[in-house]
Amino acid sequence: MILSSSRVQLFHGPGQPFQMATAPLPDQLRRGEVLVQISLATICGSDLHTMDGRRSAPTPCVLGHEAVGHVIGSSRDGIATGQRVTWTLADSCGHCAPCSRWHLPQKCDHLFKYGHAAFSDGSGLNGCYASHIVLRPGTQIMPVPAALPDAVAAPANCALATIVNALETLPDPCERVLVQGMGLLGIYACAWLSHRGIREVYCDDLSPQRLSLVKEFGGIPLEPGTTPPEVDLVLEVTGSSAVIREGVKALRPGGHYVWVGMVHPETKLDLTGEAVLRKCLTIRGVHNYAPHHLADGLDFLAQNHTRLPFEKLTSPPLPLEQLNEGIELTRSRQWQRVAIQP
């Protein structure tokens, strides 16, 4: 192997800046492992939860889980050097009950998640804010369609695949939807629902700037203070439990409510059981996704990336060395995703 070390940005704990470090590339890959040189990573909001201490992570560690890259070493059949790929953010065993019986590989008994593992674990190359990552044997690796720019493909393995999972089952009929929160998950939801032929996708967000994007992705922005019409489905992607009462109110009898955004502990609900059962509602919590959701997401991008302006959602790339600036830019909410290029 020509290169011998990887550049990484290390997270040392909440409130501390990232620090550049190097880590040796593995001399040998274990059976099933794949070494990827990262082309582009994007900063997901869940990393901000980790950085702010709302979610714990072993330290030091390499954060970052949304990325695309090129295979530079492979000990797995079917994955060849030179391929441009993305991968599932969860590595799972394939044998335990969540993997084999419950259809929830993302809840595997032996789960490993990229961007959430200690630097001392394995090769240390466990996250995407780095020049390289070592993918483990239980990770699904998928080729990225050639026409897709890196900036369009990078968020697929977290944000988009999660939305594909969240919207896999729709109520019957499903003609009107309310999407609460116009971060990247909300934008993908508009695009995915309009792709599936749903014409009325109402969108709610406190930020006029975020709402201004939704029309281009098939959504209908709700003016501040207006109530949506009665809908068949509500999707929560704000992360705020304050919207839940309004969502329940908007649903028709028999409607579905899907919760995706409230991934941190401060999500106590102000809701009565009566409000849910009298309307015969179905509530579904969605966390991450299974490999087929990522495959469907990549197909969807390949079919729609020339029709929908996905590229404008991602910032021009900053070099890996400027990750701290990239985090600040993410906090400014100027972009749906800030891109980092090793």
Binding residues for Zn ion (CB under 5 A)? 44, 46, 92-93, 96, 99, 108, 158
Helices then strands, counting H and E runs in the chain, come out as 10, 17
Contact 49, 60 (CB under 8 A): no
CA dist 128 and 57 (Å) reads 15
Q: Which is nearer to Zn ion, 58 or 224 (CB)?
A: 58
N-to-C CA span, the chain? 19
Angstrom CA distances, 317 to 68, 115, 236, stand at 13, 19, 29
Please state the closest distance from residue 65 (CB atom) to Zn ion, in A.
5
CA dist 57 and 173 (Å) reads 42
Question: What residues does 66 pair with on adjacent strands?
Answer: 42
176-180 vs 141-143, strand pairing mode: unpaired
Q: Which is nearer to Zn ion, 43 or 231 (CB)?
A: 43
Please state the closest distance from residue 215 (CB atom) to Zn ion, in A.
25
The SS3 assignment for 327 reads helix
Residue 299 contacts by C-beta under 8 Å, 6 or more apart in sequence?
none
CA dist 326 and 332 (Å) reads 10
Please state the closest distance from residue 337 (CB atom) to Zn ion, in A.
10
Q: Which is nearer to Zn ion, 100 or 209 (CB)?
A: 100
Q: Which is nearer to Zn ion, 30 or 103 (CB)?
A: 103
Q: Which is nearer to Zn ion, 122 or 275 (CB)?
A: 122
Please state the closest distance from residue 150 (CB atom) to Zn ion, in A.
17
Please state the closest distance from residue 36 (CB atom) to Zn ion, in A.
18
Please state the closest distance from residue 93 (CB atom) to Zn ion, in A.
3
The SS3 assignment for 308 reads coil
Question: What residues does 235 pair with on adjacent strands?
Answer: 179, 258
Contact 159, 184 (CB under 8 A): yes
Q: Which is nearer to Zn ion, 110 or 312 (CB)?
A: 110
Q: Which is nearer to Zn ion, 46 or 140 (CB)?
A: 46
Contact 252, 225 (CB under 8 A): no
Q: Which is nearer to Zn ion, 93 or 276 (CB)?
A: 93
Please state the closest distance from residue 98 (CB atom) to Zn ion, in A.
6
Please state the closest distance from residue 237 (CB atom) to Zn ion, in A.
12
Other C-beta atoms within 10 Å of 56: how many? 11
